[in-house]
Structure 1
Amino acid sequence: MAAESVRPDQLWYQYRPLGDRSIRLLELLPGSAQDGMRCRLRSAGLDDMRVDHPYEALSYVWGDTGDQVTIACDDACVVSISRSLLEALHALRDPISPRIIWADAICINQRDDAERSRQVRLIDAIYRNARRVVV
């Protein structure tokens, strides 16, 4: 299960602001256990989530936040995640089809206190609107 290393030509993913009732969803791109992890992040309105944007919510232990790895995001960028999240994503990744997942550590901009505060208020609705919660 290889993590990506940051190449000089790669940029860190730049989180865009979210609306008050919007969340980010992670599109986990298909691949085998030997492939590097690849994803896309997109925003979606929370109110019509079940019908328009079915997703799975991931509940996991963050683990050692100092043990960070990078994965490819939106083709030209990388994003830093914990090794425990990487392991969870590897377990969830389908070899053929993408999966749409909400995981707090990557779907919430952890460096933006105001966004984190707004998103925490939506956590109950995020889990309630998920097609399935994976623990």
Structure 2
Amino acid sequence: MSKSELPLSEVDSCGYAPMVREPLSPEAAVDIAIKLKALADPVRLRLFSLVASHSGGEACVCDISSDIDVSQPTVSHHLKVLKEAGLLSSERRASWVYYSVVPQGLATLSAVLSVVADDELTARAGA
């Protein structure tokens, strides 16, 4: 079954279908692996969570660096990795850089993994 044959609700706007319904293309696998690799580091996962949950949906390094037990340059490096993975965007305002979650980056991961989670929940409920 091709992506065009899947119901619209089963393909996200980037064309990613849940991987249990259709194999990932080589390009999609690389894109998703980059995002997962970026989130696989505990510091980056925590930073991503801090930005995503911050008031107003955006955070400056100064807002979140005190919540992480690494130096400010290390925080900036991890935020850069998340940005390069397409999970965060940034905007410079005077001497500060504000980060926010890229909705499409998160939606891509959600679309690919959602059926896996749904299937797991269904299996647990039936057990």
Band of TM-score, shorter chain:
under 0.3
Instruction: Flag the structure with more relative contact order, 1 or 2, with Cα contacts below 8 A and sequence separation at least 6.
Output: 1
Where is the helix percentage greater, Structure 1 or Structure 2?
Answer: 2
TM-score (normalised: structure 1): 0.27
TM-score (normalised: structure 2): 0.28
Where is the strand percentage greater, Structure 1 or Structure 2?
Answer: 1
